[in-house]
Every structure is written in structure tokens, then in C-alpha cells.
Amino acid sequence: MAWNEPGGGKDPWGNGSGKGGNPPDLDAALKDIGEKFGKIFGGGGGGGGGGIGGTAIVGILVIVSIIWGLLGFYQIDAKEKALVLRLGKFHEIVGDGLHWNPPLIDLITRVRVTEERQYETRGQMLTQDENIVELPLTVHYNIKSVKDFVLNVKAPEYSLRHATDSALRHVVGSSGLDEVVSTGREQLSIDVKERLQTYLDSYGTGIKVVKVNILEAKPPSAVKAAYDDVIKAREDRERVINEAQAYANGIVPEARGRAKRVIEEAKGYQARVVADAEGETERFDKLLAEYQKAPEVTRQRLYLDTMQAVMENSSKVVVDVEGGNNMLYLPLDKIMQQQASSPGRTSSQARSLSSADINLITEAVIDRIRNQSSNSQRRESR
């Protein structure tokens, strides 16, 4: 049985709350509230029509207040921060969590601060050595100051684009083609990042540049063929330089070794010549002392030693005798062969002549020349 049927169970408004167990009159309740508000705002206990109108206004105000209060609640994500403007003026910055601000009075601007954003650009520009290069670029950035990002610059990301182009052209215009294309691309990225961050800080954009990636630079298509020729010539130059360096690495140590050997040989020759000169000097000093004691004997001895040295190194001798018109030719090699063939001579004895043999040969030669000279004089006298 329903609660509103006669004899039903308990009503939801409570037992005996209304007359005869009936629910309370809502119109009466609103009327009481209206009368109370009327007294507060100076209204008397007017007629029934006025009470109903005040009750409606109060009800509307209550509902609007509730809706207005509920609209002031908002949730901030962990990656976000919110900037609060109260009546158009900066009030505060709030972090993640549930917050409430009066609607229509406070203006809430959400900004994702931890999200890494990126901006890509591409352009043709001149290098320091007046070469045209096409350079693609990617800028990774995030928001480091919500207040500056929202309030200082009207379009901060638009300003970022212009600042990137300016920084890139400044750095590329101060670098050579080789640095931009190959060797200095990493340093180029660092320089662009530092200069771009300087521009953004001076503008007060609140943007932090995380990194700058410069992709592979290439020449424009109109000059690509000429640029390829330049690259090939540069590679050929590097190859020739490497070959020359390898040749130098091989030939220089060898030349140094030869120079070292010549120097050592020269030092050895110097030491030998000096030692020989010193020995000859010492021998001459001793010979001089003997010559001073016995000049004739020493002179004869020197003559014989000299003749022996000359004869040992000569195979043929021509002798000119004083007073004669003829010269005597002595084939010593033939004489030595005859001496070797004579009985009783060994091969070692045949290969060398003693001083006695030289003296005998010399005396025989002189006697023969004298005989020939005397015979020729006799013939002339006849």
C-alpha cells in the first residue's frame, strides 16, 4: 500500500509532521521564507500575491547562487598550472588539484608547463663564405614562467618563430659552409640555442628552449650539381693529403736513418784521420830524433823504405839514369813470374820482393844503363 493512500505506512516527511499525517505544504514553506526575506529587505507583510512573488525571486536567487558557486570549481591537471586574473588584474598562479574561484570575477587560464613542445622550420640562407644552404631546424621548448607566457607577449609562440629565424640566420651567417654541412653542425645547434634563449628572455616570453636539432643541411636543388663537384674535389684533396702523409711517414724515418748513418760514418772517419795524423806526427817526431843522431843512415833507410813501398804497388817501372839518353823499362810482373818459376821458390816468396832483390835489380839496371851509355859514346867518337 502506498504511503499516500489512506491507512498507508509512514510518509517520507516523518510521522505527524503535517496535519492529519499529510505532508507539509511547500507553498507555505516558501511563503514563510519569502516573508522572512521581506522583513529583512524592509517589506511588510503584504498580501498574498506579493508574498508569492517574493518567494519566487528568492528561490531564483538561491538557485542562481548555487549554480554560480558550483561553476567556480575547477580541476587542474598535474601537467598544468593556472593563472588567475581577478577583475583583469593578476591575482595568483595555482598548481594541480581542485580549486574554486568566483566565476565572472576571476578569469582562469590553463597552461601545460611540463609538456615539451616543438617547432619546425626550414629556410635558405647565406654562409660566411657566401654559399647558399638550405637548413631544416627543430626547436624543442616548454614553459618556464606561466605569468610571462600569458601576460607579457600577445603571441609568444609567434615571437618564438621570428626569434628562431633571426638566431639561425645570425649563426649560419657567421659560419663557413663546411661547419654548417658537416664538421660544426653540433656546435651550430648549441650556438643557435643560446642565442634564441637570449632573444626570448629579452622579450619576456616565459619560454625555455630545451634543445635545437639541426637536421642534415643541403644545397638548393639549383646548385646541387656544382655542390657535389665541390664535395668530390674536397674528398680528392683529403685523399691526396692522406697519401702524401703516408708517404712522408715512410720516407722520413728512412731518410733520418741514412742521415744518422752518414753522420756516424763521418764521425768514424774523423776519428780515424785524427788518430792517423796523431800517429804520423808521433812517428815523425821519433824519426826526427833518429835522423838528428845519424842523418846518412836514416836518409838511406827512408829511401829504401820508400822504394820498397813503390815497388810493391807497381808492376812496371821506367828508370831514367843520369847521363844517358835512354830510359829503361822494367816489367816487374814478368820478373816475378820468372822468379816464381825458378826452382826452390814457394808461391808466397814469389808474390813479394825483398829489399835484397830490389837492390840487386836496381844495381843490374844501373850497370846495364851505364854500359849502353858508354857504347853509344864510343860510337859517336868514331
DSSP class of 289: H
151 in the same domain as 212: yes
Among 208, 236, 214, 239, smallest CA distance to 111 is for 208
373 in the same domain as 329: yes
- pLDDT at res. 324: 58
Rama region for 130: left / alpha / beta (φ>0; ψ in -120 to 50; rest): left
Structural domain ending residue among the three candidates 171, 200, 218: 218
Structural domain ending residue among the three candidates 218, 235, 264: 218
- The per-residue pLDDT of the chain, averaged, comes to 75
Over the stretch 198-207, which tens digit does the pLDDT of each residue have?
A: 998 888 888 8
Over the stretch 112-124, which tens digit does the pLDDT of each residue have?
A: 887 888 888 887 7
Q: How many CB atoms lie within 10 A of CB 75?
A: 10
CA distance 74 to 80: 12
162 in the same domain as 78: no
Looking up cell 644545397, which residue turns up? 219
Contact 339, 350 (CB under 8 A): yes
78 in the same domain as 66: no
In a domain, 251, yes or no: no
DSSP class of 88: T
Bridge partners (DSSP) of residue 80 are 112
Query: Where does the pLDDT of residue 267 fall: very low under 50, low under 70, confident under 90, or very high at 90 and above?
Result: very high
In a domain, 84, yes or no: yes
In a domain, 159, yes or no: yes
Contact 140, 107 (CB under 8 A): no
Ranges 39-48, 125-134, 152-161: which has the least confidence: 39-48
Over the stretch 336-372, which tens digit does the pLDDT of each residue have?
A: 666 666 655 555 554 555 556 666 666 666 676 667 6
User: Of all helices (H) and strands (E), which one includes residue 380?
Assistant: helix 355-381
82 in the same domain as 173: no
Share of the chain above pLDDT 90, in %: 7
**Grid coordinates in use for 96?**
594541480
In a domain, 292, yes or no: no
User: Of residues 246 and 72, which shows the higher confidence score?
Assistant: 246
- Phi (first) and psi of residue 174, to 5 degrees: -100, 10
135 in the same domain as 88: no
**Grid coordinates in use for 148?**
610571462
Total count of domains within the chain: 4
pLDDT above 50 for 225: yes
CA distance 310 to 304: 10
151 in the same domain as 59: no
User: Of residues 223 and 190, which shows the higher confidence score?
Assistant: 190
In a domain, 268, yes or no: no
102 in the same domain as 133: no
Scanning 144-223, the segments in alpha helix (DSSP H) are 146-147, 156-173, 177-181, 185-203
Contact 350, 340 (CB under 8 A): yes
Looking up cell 648549441, which residue turns up? 190
CA distance 21 to 18: 5
Query: Where does the pLDDT of residue 260 fall: very low under 50, low under 70, confident under 90, or very high at 90 and above?
Result: very high
**Grid coordinates in use for 192?**
643557435
CA distance 175 to 130: 10
Domain encompassing residue 164: 117-218
213 in the same domain as 129: yes
In a domain, 154, yes or no: yes
In a domain, 272, yes or no: no
pLDDT above 90 for 213: no
User: Of all helices (H) and strands (E), which one includes residue 117?
Assistant: strand 117-126
131 in the same domain as 157: yes
89 in the same domain as 64: no
Average pLDDT of 286-294? 84
Type of residue at 156: P
101 in the same domain as 143: no
Structural domain ending residue among the three candidates 180, 200, 218: 218
User: Of residues 52 and 313, which shows the higher confidence score?
Assistant: 313
In a domain, 246, yes or no: no
